[in-house]
Chain A
Amino acid sequence: MFLRATPRIVLPALVGLHLVVLLAGFFAPYDFASQNRMLPFAPPTRIHIIDSQGKLHARPFIYQWKATAEGVPQYKEDHSAVFPIRFFVSVPRYEIVGIVGFRWRLFGVETPARIFLLGSDAYGRDQLSRLLYGGQISLFAGPLATVISLSLGILLGATAGYYGSWIDEVLMRFAEVFLALPWLYLLFAVRAFLPMHAGPNQIFILLIVVIGVIGWARPARLIRGIALSAREREYVLAAKSFGASDAYILRRHILPQVSGVALTQAALLIPRYVLAEVTLSFLGLGVAEPAPSWGNMLAALQHYEIIGSYWWMSLPALALIPVFLAYYSLLAYYTVQDSSISEAIWKHREGFRPI
């Protein structure tokens, strides 16, 4: 059903999403840390084209939120002034991923009005901006950790499978230890032994490395299997008899066969790792405030009154669903093109044949 979409649609959508998130500074109207203490839990701003007098405006505009009660986040629109939405507003210089300086934001309104397309949080910070900036951490944690897992898996798996004997024995016993622990317990336990408090960048790198390294065992086992069977093939024996070096055989004959498994493993691991980062940050073991991640944005929902009253606070959770769908449909495509996802995993496991 949903999972029949081909990479032609899904891949550009995913790449686009990652680009938007990377350029969060441009697409977000505010900085992730800019607070409006007077506007906690403001609902999403409504965009109008007809004002309260019934006059039509050519340019869409918004009204300011005005608190109706003291101390309680209840708002109504203040009809005394209209604030048209401006595009390509110039702002003080900010940096995109800490490299390129930039002076423009896609849209915004004049102060004192604030535009909160997805509402605001307890400190009156714009949820949309935080969602976009948070994606820089949550969405990229997955692919980056997967790169670590797969490189480790390919390196160790190919070594174990190709050289065999005691290297194989040692590595695979070691892998078994990693596979024996329930995954999240392992992740938490390893996280427990690492520093809790550091800058957001260090924590981000730490998380990627921990998540990636812990997941090395499964891809390594799969890749070992391929290397093991490839080692016995005639063309490898022929290459050996011509005096080819081990490095050459690994590069020329074994690694090319690994690419299929590596791709499917990537599509399987990325969403899992995205969720791992979100979970860790949700539980306070990951990226800490004020830097946003989808996980620590969701942490506010542990207070029942927030989850019950302000629906826009749960948007980061809903944002995860299309991301998951996208990766799983890729997985389904890469394994068997015409079936649902878990069937695809199953078939893949059973029917893999090295060429």
Chain B
Amino acid sequence: MARYFARRILSSLLLLVSVSILSFVLLEFAPGDFYETLRLNPRVSEATVNALRSQHGVNSSLPVRYFRWVHSVSKGEWGYSLAYDSPAAPILWTRAKNTLLLTGTAMILAWIIAIPFGTWGAARRGKAPDWFVRGTTSILLAIPDLVLALLLVLCAVRSGYFPAGGMVSFDFSEMSLWAKFRDLFRHLFLPCLCLAASSFPVLLSHTRTAVLEVLESPFITAARGYGIPVRRLLFRHALPAAANPLISLFGVSIGVLLSSSVLIEVIFGWPGLGQLLLEAILQRDFFLVIDSAMLATAFLVSGNLIADVLLYACDPRVRAN
């Protein structure tokens, strides 16, 4: 087992390294850099810009820049953000924490709703609950998250209860603990709802299909013959047996959530990685672009790793192999 996971971790690391190399190669083709906008200012001379460029090593060759970056990663600095004029790591960590808060909450919310409803739909196949589940899936699937987010912003603007943007109110630091919590909750609610709703339909229908498949197997018929109550049958017998594809989906769903969170962070003004990425792109602050893409990849890869560990822990069939 240890060997299996060591191999998985090693291949994940290799993947991250290849992603970083790929992004540096892409960077080589990028036209323009951060200092180009600086040059638009007539008071900044050509010489100053060139001096700045060589100071930050923008002009050096690809391998040199790459190894410089690797060196700064090993120091825990993650390159240098030209726009913020500081090492990238502190900026990244705050943003990453915010993104994790948003996507983590959304993921828990989506799964908590999806599992009972999906099971319920599967148990009452072809009946009203099933139609309800499938109808919700279809409708939510057809509404792009951009549209959903705009709709929720509209609600926020119209109702006035939910703030339409940001993560905390301006007087957050002076609030009591309980007020802080409530303030954060109110800011978190809409973007979280939006994210959850965008990943919810896929989780719901996968749960339904997985449970449905298990319910057709003979051991369920046998258990029913023993007179085990339906609820116990569903949640103690059917659901664990159906867990395998769902746990794999859990790993994948992290990537999906991260992707849709980029847009939602921007729309709701949530100061996360996605927003940072967009700012960095517009300012051509390339280290931040590479770092945030790397971090997002790292999240996704570690999500898949966690899914593997969970699978190993939960499914005896996997352990046997």
Contacts and interface: CB of A to CB of B under 8 A. Distances in A.
- A and B co-occur in one complex: yes
A175 B138 CA distance: 30
Contacts of B289: 188-189, 192-193
Interface in A265-281: 271, 275, 278-279
A216 to B, nearest CB: 14
B310 interface: no
B98 interface: no
Contacts of A176: 15
A190 B27 CA distance: 9
Nearest to B304: A180
Nearest to A271: B144
Contact of A181 (B201, B286, B297): B297
Nearest to A306: B157
B27 A193 contact: yes
B42 to A, nearest CB: 20
A325 B142 contact: yes
Given A321-B143, A340-B138, A184 B266 contact: no
A320 B26 contact: no
B196 interface: no
A171 interface: no
B138 to A, nearest CB: 5
A282 interface: yes
B281 A317 contact: no
Given A180-B297, A278-B146, A342-B137, A192 B280 contact: yes
Interface string B130-169: 0100110111011110110011011001100000110000
**Most chain B CB neighbours (cut-off 10 Å) among A2, A304, A317:** A317
A58 interface: no
A38 B135 CA distance: 46
A198 B237 CA distance: 60
A328 interface: yes
A182 B164 contact: no
B277 A328 contact: no
A122 interface: no
Interface string B273-287: 010011011101010
Contacts of B267: 302
Given A308-B157, A340-B138, A189 B150 contact: no
Contact of B153 (A173, A195, A307): A307
Given A188-B281, A314-B150, A342-B206, A193 B300 contact: no
A239 interface: no
Contacts of A183: 255, 259
A188 B202 CA distance: 24
Contacts of B142: 2, 321, 324-325, 328
Contacts of B157: 304, 307-308
B144 A188 contact: no
B99 to A, nearest CB: 11
Query: Closest 8 CB pairs between A and B?
Result: A342-B205, A184-B259, A193-B30, A192-B281, A308-B157, A182-B258, A189-B293, A317-B147
Interface of B: 15, 18-19, 22-23, 26-27, 29-32, 131, 134-135, 137-139, 141-144, 146-147, 150-151, 153-154, 157-158, 164-165, 201-202, 205-206, 208-209, 255-256, 258-260, 262-263, 266-267, 274, 277-278, 280-282, 284, 286, 289-290, 292-293, 296-297, 299-301
A15 interface: no
B91 to A, nearest CB: 17
Given A1-B138, A189-B23, A279-B146, A180 B262 contact: no
Given A185-B277, A304-B165, 16 more contacts: A181-B293, A182-B255, A182-B297, A184-B258, A188-B278, A189-B26, A189-B289, A193-B27, A275-B146, A308-B157, A317-B147, A325-B142, A328-B138, A342-B201, A342-B206, A346-B206
**Most chain B CB neighbours (cut-off 10 Å) among A192, A195, A341:** A192
A342 B293 CA distance: 28
30 contacts: A1-B135, A2-B138, A180-B19, A182-B296, A183-B259, A184-B258, A184-B274, A188-B281, A188-B289, A188-B293, A190-B26, A193-B286, A193-B289, A194-B29, A278-B146, A282-B146, A298-B150, A302-B267, A307-B157, A308-B158, A317-B144, A317-B147, A317-B151, A318-B147, A324-B143, A325-B142, A342-B137, A342-B202, A346-B206, A346-B209
